[in-house]
Structures are given as structure tokens and as C-alpha cells.
Amino acid sequence: MEFIGFNSWNEKLKNEQHLIIAGPCSAETKEQVLNTAVKIAQNTKVKVFRAGVWKPRTNPGNFEGVGVEALDWLIAVKNQTGLLTMVEVATPEHVRAALEKKVDFLWIGARTTVNPFSVQAIADELKGVDIPVLIKNPINPDLKLWIGAIQRIYKAGIKKIAAIHRGFFPFEETKFRNIPKWEIMIELKTTFPNLQIITDPSHIAGKFDLVPDVAEMALSMNVDGLMIETHINPKIALSDAAQQLTPFQLKELLDNLTFRQSKPENAKIIDDLQQLRHSIDSIDFQLLELLAKRMQIVEKIGFYKNLRKISVFQVERWKDIRETRIQAGGDLNLDADFVKKILQLVHNESINVQTKKNINK
């Protein structure tokens, strides 16, 4: 699939290296929307104003958005500030209303991405329409589901597509509201190199004071932009109050972030990096050779255990491996969790090798 990048979405984005989107989680009142937009527009790095008009909430009775009326507030934002506008759509009716009010961009939320029927209904409504669509990752870490949503919108004829990385539901205790799982974002970029990816640090962080660290990490991972929830007075926000920044905090954040080049242009830097990468390549191939030798020994051990009717998994041996290797890793300045993960992967494969051989025998 060949996607059209945001530099060609609108003349105002022509020379942008990173797409910066900001605005409140929800459009609550006209005054709140306009006051927030005016303050945001004072920062020239921000080009797009986002606001949730329809809000999918877990429990009925919570604030679920103002609805169509708020689209007129976005028209006022564009007229007063020159910012482009963007809303979330979850149904064909949302799409029709947003198009009628000439909203500039649409985004599909995480709760919608998980449902192929909903995404297809939106795609059908978008056939024949030329408008940029940004697609958030699904709540669960399912790359195929994310790709499927992108494919459905693409097949509707939309080429101006970007992905929004907003993190994934945490099944374990974590300081973040949603776990970043950068590896899934990287895999998506590897699958579609010309697909632009924007990170939503607000939904990953869940708390305003964690947003800067997540945003900095995202930029270091070579994302193409950021979408940051910003409210004129987050303390009284009707949704996601804890993770929204004030316009002043947004300015501070953007002024202090390191916006990086995707590729170095200096010949000396390129050459230095290339030499270091050659060293990494050599070490990687040595690691693979060592792993292959280890599995050859594992296979012999599996054969011996099967012959002597010894169980494949030996808990004391596994405990000894973990303790001694983690300690050795620590002596080499390797992070303990990193070593644990590698050991678990190698051990799982060792079990697979031994049980497969046993079954074949």
C-alpha cells in the first residue's frame, strides 16, 4: 500500500517535519473550546486542533460528548485561529456530520478499531471522499487488527492515512495508563515503511506529569508527530482530566522536546554510524551461532532424558540458570528484567526442542 504523507494533506502542513496535534479530550462548551484553541494557536508548532465531539464511555451516564452542535465550535476555531480541525468518528452518521461541517481530518478511536464491522461501516461511508484519516491502535496489542483497520480504510480509496500509537490496555500493574509496547509500533512501521505514525503520549501516560517523558521517547523512536490532549483548565475537564496539559504546559513541553532527524545528513556521522552498525551485525551473527550450538546440546539432552525417562522440565536446574545468569548479567551491567526475558525465551525454545524430539521418538 502506498500512503500519502501529511505534507500533502494540506498546504499548511507542507514544510512540517513533525505533525503536532493538540486540543481537549472533549469539546465541553463553546467557551472552553475557543479559549483552549486561541491559547494553543499561539504556539506555531501546533497545526491541528483536536476535540472529541462524540465520546465512547465505558459506563452510560458519564459525559458522552455534546454531539453535532460542537462541530460548529470547531468551525469557529478554524475561523478564529487558522488551526486545522480534527474529530473522532465511530459511526457512518458521525462521518456524514463531520464532512458536512468540513472538518479537516478524522480519526478512528481505539474502541472502534477493535470492531471490523464498525471500521467497515466507516470505510463504506468514506468511499469517494478525499479526507485524511488517522487510525488508533486497538485497545489490545493485536497488530493484525490494527493493520486490518488500516487496510479497510485504504480499500475505500483513502490514501491520506496515518496511524496513531496510543498504547495498549495493561494486564499488569504499570505506572502508565496504557503500555506503549513500542515493539508493536516498530513492527507496523516495518510492515508499512511509508505509513506515518503519530504517538498519543496523553493516553499512554494517563497523568500529565508523565506526558513529557513519553513524548521524548516517542520522538527518539522516530515517530512522525504527537497528539497531545490540552485543556484550558484540566482540573474541571469532564473527561480524562488527569492526563491533559494546560496550553502553557503544552508550550513548555514542545519547547523542551528534542525533535530529531529521521536520517543523518552529515557524511561523517553516516560513516561513524555505519561502522558501529557493522560491529552490531557481526555480534548478532555470533549470537545466532552460539544459540544454534546451544540448541544442538539441548537436543542431545532431550534425547538422553527421553531414553532414561527423565522429565523435560527440571525446576532446580531452571532456578539455578536464572539466578546465576541474572547475577552474571548484572556484573556486565545488563538490566535484570532484560536478562530474565532473554532467558525465558531461550528456555521456552529449549523445552520445545526437547519435547518435539521426544514426540518424534
CATH number, residue 25: 3.20.20.70
Q: What is the pLDDT of residues 229-287, one digit of tens each?
A: 999 999 999 999 999 999 999 999 999 998 877 666 677 777 778 888 888 988 999 99
Q: What is residue 361's predicted lDDT score, i.e. its pLDDT?
A: 46
In a domain, 262, yes or no: no
pLDDT at position 357, please? 54
User: Residue 272: what pLDDT?
Assistant: 79
Q: CATH number of the domain that 336 lies in?
A: 1.20.59.10
Confidence of residue 356 (pLDDT cuts 50, 70, 90): confident
CB 250 within 8 A of CB 230: yes
Whether residue 225 is found in the same domain as residue 336: no
| 229 strand-pairing partners | 23
Task: Report if residue 290 sits inside a domain.
Answer: yes
Query: 123 in a domain, yes or no?
Result: yes
Query: Tell me, what's the pLDDT at 264?
Result: 67
What integer is the mean pLDDT of 286-313? 91
Mean per-residue pLDDT of the chain: 93
Confidence of residue 124 (pLDDT cuts 50, 70, 90): very high
Claim to verify: residue 271 and residue 123 sit in the same structural domain: no
Q: What share of the chain has pLDDT > 70, as a percent?
A: 97
For residue 194, is pLDDT > 90? Answer: yes
Q: For position 218, what pLDDT does the model report? A: 94
Which residues, in sequence order, are CB contacts of 140 under 8 Å at separation 6+?
A: 114, 168, 169
**Grid cell in block for residue 306:** 527421553
**Residue 52 pLDDT > 90:** yes
* Number of domains into which the chain is organized: 2
Averaged pLDDT, 295-308: 91
Predicted pLDDT of residue 271: 79
Residues facing residue 248 across a β-bridge: none
Predicted TM-score (pTM) of this structure: 0.82
Shared-domain flag, residues 291 and 251? no
Report d(CA 161, CA 139) in Å as an integer: 19
pLDDT tens-digit series, residues 127-160: 999 999 999 999 999 999 999 999 999 999 999 9
Residues 302 and 224 in one domain: no
